[in-house]
């Protein structure tokens, strides 16, 4: 079995807890002294930095929410002078006040290490050609896996997303062995590769897929259709990006890089910490970052943690595949979309608040249909006028969301009303 940082990945639990305790205490002192938001929050909760001496003290700290990050946009959470930062990344999809995350060179190094662990766990090494078609830019997917691949010493193909023909051409010409992309894009690539009859020219052996929900069924399909082993990888911009956790040869959940990010599971309604094995909201605490270390960040992602012994030899705690989110955020083609954003565009354009969002997966690609009732006065407009309005809405939504939905104007009163909460989103994806 090979590891990228075996000593840490396979550390005894007691050693890990000691390491975590020391790092947590340092991080708490660091943010208390540098981030007025954290000083205020801790003072309000009656916790002083000196109260945090071991990892068991973690639950004494208050939670950090995504709203706090939005309120502190852009520099409020920065815990080092700007001159020490070298990079910004940002979450996908949301507009207005996006969440931005900052990195020092040291933060990038540890992030790259986390992704390197994932690549090695998927069987990667110096002889491999790592084909990265996660997006590059503000999205963390491309830069994260790129950095990890460099650390491993693999030949890195920074393809970024899109242009499927070119992806396949490079894959066959250069002999890519490890594919990194969203599972839905991997499925699309598989379909194109098999459709073109070039499967025997492909040398892929593994895929590292994440950034969106996928199922065991999808894993089996991808493994069969590409002739690979498919591994899950999890992460989020606020915490670092991909590589918060990664799957190993056992393929039964993801090892959390808990020497950097300490996971807890809470009851999302009460905030109570739940024992291992119970399903709840994942909360993460950064214990080794300098620029943007978040304490007890509520991810809104739902999963289960387990300390069960893993056959790969790693002792890092494991989290299950994600089971959903506590909020209503949809992830469509890897982009985060909130129904409230769609509603905002509709209302701004004079549409009534009677709409339905239908999400589906057709040929392995997510589709987003927005059906909205037209105001009665528009009902008598010509077909041309109505389709011009639809195009206008599509353009506005594209600039708000970053992806294009299909918009259909429906007859007044044609969308079912609800007596309780309105059903705004119909997600037909079987994942």
DSSP calls for 284-341: EEESS-SSSPPSSEEEEEEE-EE----TTS--S-EEPSP--BSS--EEETTEEE-HHH
- CB of 325 vs ligand DLL, minimal distance in Å: 6
Does 104 bind ligand DLL (CB under 6 A)? Our answer is: no
In this chain, which residue has its C-beta nearest to ligand DLL?
210
Pick from 172, 182, 177, 110: nearest CA to 147: 110
Which parts of 278-307 interact with ligand DLL (CB under 6 A)?
299, 301
> Distances in Å between the alpha carbon of 221 and those of 96, 184, 253, 309?
38, 11, 18, 28
Does 232 bind ligand DLL (CB under 6 A)? Our answer is: yes
> Which range, of 74-82, 119-127, 227-235, 262-270, touches ligand DLL by CB under 6 A?
227-235
Whose Cβ is closer to ligand DLL: residue 52's or residue 283's?
A: 283
- Out of 8, 20, 64, 92, name the contact with ligand DLL by CB under 6 A: 92
Whose Cβ is closer to ligand DLL: residue 133's or residue 409's?
A: 133
- CB of 139 vs ligand DLL, minimal distance in Å: 6
- Out of 8, 64, 85, 140, name the contact with ligand DLL by CB under 6 A: 140
Whose Cβ is closer to ligand DLL: residue 42's or residue 211's?
A: 211
CA-CA-CA-CA torsion for 152, 153, 159, 165, nearest 10 degrees? -100
DSSP calls for 205-268: -EEEEESS---HHHHHHHHHHHTSEEEEEEEETTTTEEEEEEE-TT-SSEEE-TTTEEEEEE-T
- Out of 218, 322, 330, 374, name the contact with ligand DLL by CB under 6 A: 322
> Which range, of 5-13, 79-87, 153-161, 236-244, touches ligand DLL by CB under 6 A?
236-244
Residues ≥6 apart with Cβ < 8 Å to 105: 86
221 close to 230: Cβ distance less than 8 angstroms = no
Pick from 247, 245, 253, 241: nearest CA to 289: 241
Residue 234, φ and ψ in degrees, nearest 5: -125, 150
Whose Cβ is closer to ligand DLL: residue 119's or residue 351's?
A: 119
| Terminal Cα distance for the chain, rounded | 31
Does 233 bind ligand DLL (CB under 6 A)? Our answer is: yes
Strands 425-427 and 178-181, bridge-based pairing:
unpaired
- Out of 124, 143, 148, 242, name the contact with ligand DLL by CB under 6 A: 242
Does 211 bind ligand DLL (CB under 6 A)? Our answer is: yes
Q: Binding-site residue total for ligand DLL (CB under 6 A)?
A: 23
- Out of 111, 234, 292, 297, name the contact with ligand DLL by CB under 6 A: 234
Pick from 156, 157, 145: nearest CA to 121: 145
Whose Cβ is closer to ligand DLL: residue 87's or residue 199's?
A: 87
The residue with tokens 């939670």 is 63
Does 143 bind ligand DLL (CB under 6 A)? Our answer is: no
**Cα–Cα distance for residue pair 8/218, rounded to 1 Å:** 31
Does 135 bind ligand DLL (CB under 6 A)? Our answer is: no
Does 147 bind ligand DLL (CB under 6 A)? Our answer is: no
**Cα–Cα distance for residue pair 252/14, rounded to 1 Å:** 24
Beta bridge partners of 361: 366
Whose Cβ is closer to ligand DLL: residue 258's or residue 301's?
A: 301
For CA atoms 356, 360, 365, 366, give the dihedral sign: positive
- CB of 309 vs ligand DLL, minimal distance in Å: 23
- CB of 271 vs ligand DLL, minimal distance in Å: 18
- Out of 212, 259, 264, 366, name the contact with ligand DLL by CB under 6 A: 212
Residues near ligand DLL, by CB under 6 A:
91-92, 134, 140-141, 210-213, 232-237, 241-242, 299, 301, 322, 325, 331, 336
């Amino acid at each position: 079995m090979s590891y990228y940082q075996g000593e840490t990945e396979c550390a005894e639990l007691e050693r890990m807890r000691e390491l975590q305790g020391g790092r947590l205490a340092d991080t708490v002192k660091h943010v208390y002294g540098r981030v007025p938001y954290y000083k205020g929050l801790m003072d309000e909760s009656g916790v002083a930095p000196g109260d945090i001496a071991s990892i068991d003290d973690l639950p004494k700290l208050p939670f950090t929410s995504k709203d706090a990050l939005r309120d502190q946009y852009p520099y409020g959470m920065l815990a080092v002078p700007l001159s020490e930062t070298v990079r910004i990344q940002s979450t996908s999809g949301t507009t207005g006040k996006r969440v931005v995350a900052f990195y020092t060179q040291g933060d990038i190094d540890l992030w790259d290490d986390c992704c390197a662990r994932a690549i090695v766990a998927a069987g990667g090494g110096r002889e491999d050609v790592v084909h990265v078609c996660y997006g590059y830019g503000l999205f963390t997917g491309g830069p994260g896996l790129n950095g990890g691949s460099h650390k491993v010493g693999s030949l890195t193909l920074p393809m970024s997303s899109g242009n499927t023909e070119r992806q396949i051409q490079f894959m066959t010409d250069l002999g890519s062995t490890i594919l990194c992309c969203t599972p839905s894009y991997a499925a699309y690539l598989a379909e194109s590769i098999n459709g073109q009859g070039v499967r025997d020219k492909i040398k892929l052996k593994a895929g590292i897929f994440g950034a969106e929900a996928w199922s065991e069924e999808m894993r089996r399909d991808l493994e069969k259709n590409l002739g690979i082993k498919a591994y899950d990888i999890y992460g989020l911009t606020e915490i670092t990006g991909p590589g918060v956790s990664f799957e190993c040869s056992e393929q039964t959940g993801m090892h959390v890089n808990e020497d950097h990010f300490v996971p807890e599971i809470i009851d999302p309604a009460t905030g109570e910490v739940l024992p291992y094995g119970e399903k709840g909201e994942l909360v993460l605490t950064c214990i080794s970052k300098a620029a943007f270390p978040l304490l007890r960040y509520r991810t809104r992602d739902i999963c289960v943690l387990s300390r069960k012994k893993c056959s790969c030899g790693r002792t890092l705690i494991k989290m299950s595949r994600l089971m959903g989110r506590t909020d209503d955020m949809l992830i469509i083609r890897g982009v985060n979309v909130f129904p409230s954003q769609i509603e905002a565009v509709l209302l701004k354009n004079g549409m009534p608040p009677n709409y339905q969002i239908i999400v589906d997966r057709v040929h392995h690609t997510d589709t987003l249909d927005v059906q909205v009732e037209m105001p009665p006065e528009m009902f008598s407009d010509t077909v041309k006028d109505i389709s011009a309005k639809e195009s206008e809405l599509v353009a506005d939504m594209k600039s708000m969301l970053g992806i294009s939905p299909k918009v259909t104007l429906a007859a007044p009163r044609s969308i079912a009303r609800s007596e309780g909460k309105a059903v705004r989103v119909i997600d037909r994806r079987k994942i």
